[in-house]
Amino acid sequence: MILLYTSPGCASCRKAKQWLKDNNLPFVEKNIFTTLLKEDEIKYLLKRTENGTEDIISTRSKVFQEMNVDLDDLSLNELVKFIRENPSILKRPIILNEKNLVVGYDDDEITSFVPSELRNLVSKTCNETCQNYEICGACRKEA
């Protein structure tokens, strides 16, 4: 199951949500302002990141700047509490499933949520006879 963490008014969140719908990928949306994130949920997000807090926390956010907090000085429990009390510091959208975590909307990265069987099928069936080969076939050859 895909989890989509969003906030109202977030254009990237709307794009991600629409992309998931357009690709018939079931997801559960969690608005970070109306659904209080659980401690375990935040710890799980942090555990899944490659670079820790810098992957999911926006140090440029107004709240973060006003709080004048050094994340390196916080214990894990203090960090979790800080995020729970200030969800606006999270980058958005955050999209994850059992295998993938994508923060923000990126046209290329979001395709990681398409099941590999389907990606393999497409790569095998699209060839020179496909009407879209000039676009998608050429892209795959370059990669």
Q: Is residue 117 part of a domain?
A: no
Residue 140 confidence (pLDDT) = 53
Catalytic residue among 10, 13, 130, 139: 10
For residue 6, the tally of other CB atoms under 10 A from its CB is 22
Residue 68 confidence (pLDDT): 84
Which pair of structure tokens corresponds to residue 73? 């000085």
Is the residue at 129 inside a domain?
no
123 in a structural domain:
no
Q: Is residue 73 part of a domain?
A: yes
Looking up residue 93, the CATH number of its domain turns out to be 3.40.30.10
- How many whole angstroms separate alpha carbon 64 and alpha carbon 116? 38
The answer to whether 136 is a known catalytic residue is no
In a domain, 29, yes or no: yes
pLDDT of 127 reads 67
pTM of the model: 0.80
**Which residue ranges in the chain fall short of pLDDT 70?**
117-127, 132-133, 135-143
Write down the residue that tokens 């050429």 correspond to: 138
- Its domain, for residue 68, covers 2-112
Instruction: Count the domains in the chain.
Output: 1
User: Would strands 94-96 and 2-6 be described as parallel, antiparallel, or unpaired?
Assistant: antiparallel
Q: Is residue 41 part of a domain?
A: yes
